[in-house]
Structure 1
Amino acid sequence: MFGKPVGDPRHSDVSAFSCGHTVCLPHFNHDCNRANKPSFRTAFARRRCIIPATGFYEWKSVGEGQKRIPYFIGLREHAPFAFAGLWEVWLNEKGEEVHSCAIITCPANALVAELHDRMPVILDLQTIPNWLHETSAARLKTLLVPFEADRMVAYPVSRQVNSPAVDSPELILPESQKE
């Protein structure tokens, strides 16, 4: 097992990281430059996790009307990877335990920068053990960098990805391959 499970993923957009109270603000991702902030310091030292993935989406604004086109971004060889994350357990206002996590972000690499100024910190299979087991904060921070752009691919996909009602493996196919 690579780390402690974070529980129900429906709660991953609410995090105890954003406050020290029982009612917290939404927080899905975390800027790597804030790792030393008090709200993240303990989790960075003791509660690191991975979020397995094969890709993620970003939207590109194009044209005068700023139409937004969804892009799928993943590894060129289509291999699985993991996002660097932090997890937390906290009590909600009803006194119930909530398991939550945040994906750590960093400045975008050259590929993702065409779509957004930030990207998730991506760990390949070789760096996952370092992220989960390293104790030196200085060495951990060396992992919080943009993933190599030449090892990644980004392409436009169907706008159906915007609909929560559509859940299909075809959503990650390039738009040019659709009939």
Structure 2
Amino acid sequence: MRGEVPKSVDTADIYAAAIALFCERGFGGTTTRQIADRAGINEVTLFRRFGSKAALMEAAIIDALAEAPFGQVAPSADVTSDLSTIVEAYLATYQRHGGLALTLFSQLPQHPELAGTTPALMENLQNVAGVLAHHQAQGRIRPGNPIRFAVELIAPLAMVGFLNQLGIGPGHPGLDLNDYVETYLQGHQGLQPG
């Protein structure tokens, strides 16, 4: 296929190749030729469509993060159920994109051209904060900054996963979901209206 311009380029294949190589080699170690080869297209096609490696990586990362299930949970009347759903969805997201998150966090300081991906990270966190704010308004979670509370819910899970990827610690498989949510609620419990 090299040298030919396909009639239809599947963006999903390009994004999958870009993400896989980014996780394997980092931003600096990944070339557009490698991405094109893995996606089965001509390198020129990438430049026509995206203009630069940075723009391609940004589009691929944003696309992956936009589908993150933990940022798509809608609030209900049950705070424990909602937090359990968020944690389960985060773990599913991490299982699918954990290498991406670890690589992205480690690459951002060295590659400011990746900064355009951070709004997608924040959007997911803001969605979780929205669920927490809903429960704050109902008195189920104490008052406070819902973004900070969202970070306090998600960050320990991220750290356990990151450490496991580095060969330190057991990772998520041994996590007792009910205990995790209950412990979180003990530190964030609101006074329910009488």
TM-score (norm 1): 0.28
**Higher relative contact order (CA closer than 8 Å, sequence separation 6+):** 1
Query: Radius of gyration: which is bigger?
Result: 2
Q: Give the structure with the higher percent helix.
A: 2
Q: Give the structure with the higher percent strand.
A: 1
